[in-house]
Structure 1
Amino acid sequence: MLNSNLLRKLDMQDLMVFVAVYEQSSVTEVSETLCVSQSTVSYCLKKLRTSFEDELFIHTRNAMWPTSKATRMYSHVVNIIKNINLCHSGVNVFDPTEKEITFNICAPEYFELLILPDLLKSFIKSNLPIIVNTHKFHKDVPVEQLVDGRIDLVICAGPNFHRDAKPFKSKILLDDDLVCVVDKHFTPPENRFNLDTFVARQHIFPTPWTSDTNMVDGWLGKQGYTRQIVARANSYVAALEMLSGTDLVLMLPRRLQKRICDETKFAFCKPPAGLPSFTIDMLWDRKAEQNTANTWLREQIAKVCA
């Protein structure tokens, strides 16, 4: 039985709209994806809000942000739709305990340092025969490999960093921002940099993926500033080793700084005001929506990031 008579008014289209708005954060994109009008999407959202007695999605200037209740609901609603599809198709649900399976994920070092260790621990704890092969993320999204299934998932920076990501389904896994990491003996006054003191220092630039540009230098250029990069490292960990005992500056994602920095050796400082933040996004091909193993993997990654 249903907890509330209000839930009787819902139909499958309402649930599909809920999932699509959660994943795409845009009424316009949802209407295009589901091939319905924007007024239909708005009507479904109104029914959902009434039925679940919550705003569910909050309008902001750039996106529709889910409330805490919508975030808790998301995985359950996805499972409802998945189970309805299984009832129709008769396809067996993926069981990770049945046999060994290998997943191929194209991802930057950020994923290997921050997300993959906890993901593997969860597999080991549950005694699951899962193998994860990580492929280095280069300049562009590996479109062909993602479409033909050689790559199961792509993890990349966002939002909207990669134009070739648009044809794929996506989900934001994490929000993050950059902090300045320095040797403890060369901490700036008041533990922060302004634009002038930031560019006055020399910098180490980690290159965990190939790119012609980067967020820091792109932003500095808009302010009319440049910085001097004296070394480029292939990894964040190698860059930290170069930093020790010098007055150089290394820009690190805040979540990584907490994970890999030795606080007895390094200090972190606030960057110049206005430096933009970023997201870590997960991409998959639309055909993978019907692949229960792929769906299961995405759920496990989302749980770790939560």
Structure 2
Amino acid sequence: MNLTALDLNLLIALDALLREASVSRAALRIGLSQPATSHALQRLRDLFGDPLLVRTGARMELTPRALALRAPLAQALEQVRGLFLSDAFDATRSDRQFRLMMPDLAVELLMPPLMAKVAQAAPNIRIDVVPWRGSAIFHADFARTIDMVISIGNAFKGFHRQLLYTDSDALAIRRGHPIGAKLKRRDVFLQARHVAVILRGQSADLIDMWLETKGIERRIALVVPGYIEALNVAARTDLVAFVPRRLIAALAKPLSLVTVSPPLDPGVDEQYMFYPTRAQLDPGSIWLRKLMLETARELDRGKRSVV
């Protein structure tokens, strides 16, 4: 192929067509008319010697060749865009948007203090938090939309990992709970009714996965999809929540919760910050990562109520 005859706009149109699998939606995505997008598709078909999009009933579907082009094309366009990134990042003037994915636990602990810093240093910055969906969602197209992930030590392809903070797990109960500190005893712990947390993308509560390796099974009365929901339930019932200590400490006062050391110790939890390899040298990403690390280091200033 003669690259001097290649129009970069065709690659942008191709990217839209491969993402949308629809001429009309691709046209809307890149701001062209539908006839112009159809013309671009025809030129692309000639260039690749492949129909790329074929009609199947009422739908358009990508050909195998088109499917194979999606990931390398997205990566190539990202690299081209990187050529035009400014070397400087002025946080005070920037109106950049960052997209982060994290569980509710990390949102509760990190986002309020982080946003206080952002409001002071970069008042026009916007941060969108995407609910935790599990590592299975990290296909190439989705990963390209994410600037940062906060998670335990999973590996995400194309992302670097950096330790944010460590934590440990404890029992959260309402103040005045009838068995209170007795939960430190293994027999009382096993007889108590528990609320488990199974995040999206997981098959079981991480605590129960660990207990299973010890041949132990606790009594689950309720399963919820988030840690904050578990603590809200524990605050208004006699159910016991086995969750990270830092989160209990953060919500102990407003929810009137007490922390009880468990009879079984799962060990240290490590929470990591993941950021895209493509953004390793991006000044904006560096700025946000630095702010997140500062926020994580300040978590130790919180106080705990322990029984």
Give the TM-score taking structure 1 as reference length.
Answer: 0.63
Long gaps (5+) in structure 2: 1-83, 298-307
Query: Which of 123, 132, 135 is 1:140 aligned to?
Result: 135
Query: 1:260 Cα deviation (Å)?
Result: 1.0
The alignment yields a C-alpha RMSD, in angstroms, of 2.6
Select the structure of larger CA radius of gyration. Answer: 2
Query: Which of 264, 277, 301 is 1:286 aligned to?
Result: 277
d(CA) in 2 for partners of 1:252 and 1:192? 14
Task: Give aligned pairs, total.
Answer: 214
**What's 2:115 paired with?**
120
d(CA) in 2 for partners of 1:118 and 1:149? 26
Long gaps (5+) in structure 1: 1-88
**What's 2:148 paired with?**
153
Summarize the Cα distance change of 1:203–1:96 in structure 2 as closer, same or farther, 3 Å threshold. same
Query: Which of 231, 238, 241 is 2:229 aligned to?
Result: 238
- Do the aligned partners of 2:99 and 2:146 also contact (CA within 8 Å) in 1? yes
d(CA) in 2 for partners of 1:295 and 1:142? 25
d(CA) in 1 for partners of 2:220 and 2:96? 43
Summarize the Cα distance change of 1:145–1:299 in structure 2 as closer, same or farther, 3 Å threshold. farther
Summarize the Cα distance change of 1:244–1:283 in structure 2 as closer, same or farther, 3 Å threshold. closer
d(CA) in 2 for partners of 1:265 and 1:98? 41
- What pairs up with 1:150-189 in 2 under 5 angstroms? 150-158=145-153, 162=154, 164-165=155-156, 167-186=158-177, 188=179
SS in 1 for 2:202: coil
**What's 1:254 paired with?**
245
Query: 1:191 Cα deviation (Å)?
Result: 5.5
d(CA) in 1 for partners of 2:85 and 2:214? 58
d(CA) in 2 for partners of 1:251 and 1:146? 35
d(CA) in 1 for partners of 2:206 and 2:227? 16
- Do the aligned partners of 2:93 and 2:122 also contact (CA within 8 Å) in 1? no
Query: 1:99 Cα deviation (Å)?
Result: 2.9
- Residues 248-306 of structure 1 show CA distances to partners (whole Å, capped at 9, x for unaligned) of 21112111111112378322100123322211101112111121111111111011111
- Residues 77-100 of structure 1 show CA distances to partners (whole Å, capped at 9, x for unaligned) of xxxxxxxxxxxx995221112231
- What pairs up with 1:16-35 in 2 under 5 angstroms? none
**What's 1:197 paired with?**
188
Query: 1:247 Cα deviation (Å)?
Result: 2.7
**What's 2:201 paired with?**
210
Summarize the Cα distance change of 1:238–1:218 in structure 2 as closer, same or farther, 3 Å threshold. closer
**What's 1:226 paired with?**
217
- Do the aligned partners of 2:99 and 2:128 also contact (CA within 8 Å) in 1? yes
d(CA) in 2 for partners of 1:147 and 1:242? 33
Query: Which of 264, 279, 295 is 1:304 aligned to?
Result: 295
Amino acid at match of 2:177: F
Summarize the Cα distance change of 1:146–1:252 in structure 2 as closer, same or farther, 3 Å threshold. farther
d(CA) in 2 for partners of 1:291 and 1:90? 8
Query: 1:142 Cα deviation (Å)?
Result: 4.3
d(CA) in 2 for partners of 1:117 and 1:90? 29
d(CA) in 2 for partners of 1:206 and 1:214? 5
Give the TM-score taking structure 2 as reference length.
Answer: 0.63
Query: 1:113 Cα deviation (Å)?
Result: 0.3
**What's 1:101 paired with?**
96
Summarize the Cα distance change of 1:220–1:148 in structure 2 as closer, same or farther, 3 Å threshold. closer
Summarize the Cα distance change of 1:98–1:246 in structure 2 as closer, same or farther, 3 Å threshold. closer
Amino acid at match of 2:121: S
| Stretch moving more, 213-222 or 143-152 | 143-152
SS in 2 for 1:173: strand
d(CA) in 2 for partners of 1:149 and 1:117? 26
Query: 1:130 Cα deviation (Å)?
Result: 0.8
